[in-house]
């Protein structure tokens, strides 16, 4: 039920979450130091992660996510950089790559409005009596 743009943003967040869960305390500290060295508007927009909140548009598209990821990579210690590269190649795969490149925009289908289904009561031609029901079960 999510639109394609939201799925791409989710793929980026899932990659980051899975990467962080696999790190030791030294790499976690290094990652978060690099994260909070990003411009305040970038990291606060990422943490807000809700349309309409201030700075959310900073990571709303592939370019914003790519710039954010490169900023973290640039500021991170070598052990975090190596871990990110390994995770990007072996764990992130196509979903992560689509989320930070224009490749993800090629498979975006136009959103088709879905009409709500309205159930109509079933109309019977004639009421059934007990004899009709019993005759049909033989």
The answer to whether residue 10 is domain-embedded is: yes
Tell whether 122 is covered by a domain.
Answer: no
* DSSP state, residue 101: S
106: pLDDT confidence band, cut at 50, 70 and 90? low
Residue 68: inside a domain, yes or no? Answer: yes
Q: Is 18 helix (H, G, I), strand (E, B) or coil?
A: helix
Q: Is residue 55 part of a domain?
A: yes
The model's pTM is: 0.68
Q: How far apart are the first and last CA of the chain?
A: 46
What pLDDT does 136 receive?
58
- The more confidently predicted of residues 1 and 11 is 11
Is 57 contained in some domain? yes
Q: What is the mean pLDDT of residues 90-95?
A: 79
- Structure-token pair, residue 3: 């639109």
Higher pLDDT, 57 or 71: 71
63 falls within a domain: yes
Q: Please say whether the beta carbons of 36 and 43 come within 8 A.
A: yes
CB atoms within 10 A of CB 119: 5
State how far the alpha carbon of 44 is from the alpha carbons of 21, 56, 77, 95, 131, in Å: 21, 8, 22, 24, 72
Residue 94 has pLDDT above 60, yes or no: yes
Q: 41: domain range?
A: 4-105
Q: Is residue 116 part of a domain?
A: no
Token pair 């640039």: residue: 74
**Domain total in the chain:** 1
Q: Tell whether 75 is covered by a domain.
A: yes
pLDDT > 60? residue 123: no
């Amino acid at each position: 039920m999510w639109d394609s743009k939201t799925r791409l943003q989710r793929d980026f967040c899932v990659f980051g979450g899975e990467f962080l869960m696999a790190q030791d305390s030294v790499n976690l500290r290094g990652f978060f130091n690099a994260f909070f060295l990003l411009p305040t508007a970038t990291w606060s927009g990422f943490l807000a992660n809700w349309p309409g909140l201030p700075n959310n548009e900073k990571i709303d598209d592939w370019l914003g996510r790519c710039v954010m990821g490169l900023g973290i990579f640039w500021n991170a210690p070598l052990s975090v950089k190596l871990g990110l590269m390994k995770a990007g190649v072996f764990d992130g795969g196509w979903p992560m790559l689509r989320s930070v490149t224009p490749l993800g925009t090629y498979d975006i289908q136009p959103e088709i409005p879905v009409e709500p289904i309205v159930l109509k009561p079933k109309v019977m031609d004639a009421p059934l009596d007990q004899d009709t029901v019993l005759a049909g079960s033989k």
